Chains A and B, each alone.
Chain A
């Protein structure tokens, strides 16, 4: 009898699983999925990997953080706060910082990862916008992506507010005031969220539940759909090298892309570890525990809420009073303007489709210059948010530049209107110039071109028209 050679253990394991799932069938097509290669396509991954770091460091922190407003007397390693009465939340934050090995690194990496996570989302969102990747069939993914952005923003805000330090407590107070400014329902929403008036003992435990459970669960769910649709639609790609609307040109998932993506995961984590090691962030021991009658000058929220802070500062002191009823000032800057801005952002794929009349499927990306009007609007919107963000730090700016904070504010008020308009116009001109270098182009916004045939029509034999229409 010939001896039967046993296959290696891993192979046998894989066969066992396949017997029960048929995994090899789908596995094959997954392994040679094609991913187009462009640096800007990895921005979403930078965000994703930052999120993974957030989850990992966050889990560590939950083992040490105490989400309670109960008062204790601090007697840890940080001498300048000895004997001060602080909340357990603040006390545990100091404990993590000064008395838990690797605690400070975990805390700082967690916070830096949050800042970088949201920054990566923004720059990824900009890439999607400027290349038109939100067009059919990816409108849902655009909406989901924006929702992820808002979720992350909120989670970050709750996250750094958990520590109950003076700076973040001031931010919660402002958020509470913005909430109650909503007509009719504002006070109810605020009272339900906070368990009453500000400050309340329920604030911290509830923010904790939201921050570690509710929002991360929503983010993970939305992220799954976001990535699932990406797999279903396949990635977009730029023109060139044979790229068309009916194919994907790039490299195989296995092994090339997997190694590169895996390498990027390690690299992103490495950069976050570097930030956490050498740049101090959120020194809550200097800010002190939150006391509602205290406040520091130069109180800013984390950068991604800066635009909201700036919006509150820039708004002139308008309010509406009718008898004993009012719409108070924070409503305009804190609710209405952000609501309109994000409403427009969410609706953009449909706004653009209405303007261009283009309802075709697109898998080949635009170069920003080729859609000059969209790029101009995008730059204008970006400048609008940037001026607001700068305005959020106008007192720091005034001190640094040794100018009057009042004059600085007025300058920023003017810039808020002027910069987007001027910047948008300049961008448009630049795009048109760049287009001219490439030869004659068609700008659907300005030139009189009839919209393309509706995709519901049966496909026409049109050899020069490579678009998929049905």
Chain B
């Protein structure tokens, strides 16, 4: 081994690291688990069973929601009208951590929920009382039809969320989020609510059974069958191309450098004296020239 730069080795190493990093972060839009939940400083978290749920909800609401959504959810310049989102809408927003949102933004990012389960129940009940929005859907996926769910998913959802639920790019900085960390109930809530840019898929488009089917398929996509091996993030030919170059060509180049190595060292290049244009160099014959058999 000489001290020359081991280009192939560096390439393979860099490639392996890149593929690993991409694959591990290949859950589509980053779930942004590292961002801090925006928890209000004065959350009341006492024994809920002894406190009226609506009252706690009202207290929580007046602490962190009212500044953008106004009392009774009528909305302000900073936050939309939420009188008719119902328990469904509030449950979706709170359980996925999208709300509370520190400041208005084109897309509320997914974060760990800022509230405990009981607090969310209280808030949801309170927001639900604003108008006659829908209740939390009753989602049951154990007996749902996985195959039908897949067909409906591919017809209606994959255009934004990608065939494997890895998420996708929308316009001007928005993203359809990845679906690998969302609970089935929130999946159906999103369909019925149509958060952000997402269209509304109401009961006339999907019945409750069909919605359950889709939720079951989304659940399946969290761990799809991968008999072929490492899934590479299920992002398709982009990552496969990386692997073909970095691993395939990287290994091949390493191999051919190994195969030719000894004789390379024996044939250290002699300095070139250029005499003629066109780049063809005359070479001082090296001392090691042997008389080989010449062709008859």
Contact = CB atoms under 8 A, between A and B. Distances in A.
Given A83-B147, A84-B147, A279-B228, A120 B159 contact: no
A334 B174 CA distance: 28
Given A116-B249, A395-B169, A285 B225 contact: yes
Interface in B206-232: 217, 220-221, 224-232
B286 A242 contact: yes
Interface string B264-296: 100111111111111111110110110011011
Q: Looking at chain B, what size class is its interface with the partner chain? A: 35 or more
A282 B170 CA distance: 24
Interface string A272-316: 100101111111011110010111111111111010000000000
Interface string B151-170: 10011001111111011111
A303 B237 contact: yes
A280 B283 contact: no
A88 interface: no
A280 B241 contact: no
B255 A271 contact: yes
Contact of A115 (B30, B173, B248): B248
A242 B277 contact: no
A294 B279 CA distance: 56
A302 B248 CA distance: 15
Interface string A113-129: 00110011001000000
Contacts of B248: 112, 115-116, 119, 271-272, 275
A240 interface: yes
B228 A465 contact: no
Interface string A354-398: 001110101010110011000000000000000000000101101
A241 B278 contact: no
Interface in B89-144: none
B54 interface: no
A39 B8 CA distance: 11
Contacts of B255: 264, 267-268, 271
Contacts, number: 293
Nearest to A41: B260
B24 interface: no
Nearest to B153: A288
A442 B169 contact: no
A282 B288 contact: no
B162 A297 contact: yes
Contact of A296 (B158, B221, B240, B269): B158
B29 interface: yes
A364 to B, nearest CB: 6
B283 A239 contact: yes
A294 B158 contact: yes
B158 A80 contact: no
Nearest to A271: B251
A281 B239 CA distance: 9
Interface stretch (A143-151, A190-198, A402-410): A402-410
Given A116-B244, A238-B269, A239-B281, A286 B275 contact: no
Contacts of A98: 227
B256 A244 contact: no
A97 interface: yes
B163 A358 contact: no
Contacts of A300: 236-238
A-B CB proximity, top 10 nearest? A303-B241, A297-B168, A280-B228, A358-B278, A115-B244, A242-B289, A240-B269, A404-B173, A444-B277, A116-B248
Interface of B: 22, 25, 28-30, 146-148, 150-151, 154-155, 158-164, 166-173, 175-176, 217, 220-221, 224-232, 234-238, 240-241, 243-245, 247-249, 251-253, 255-257, 259-261, 263-264, 267-283, 285-286, 288-289, 292-293, 295-296
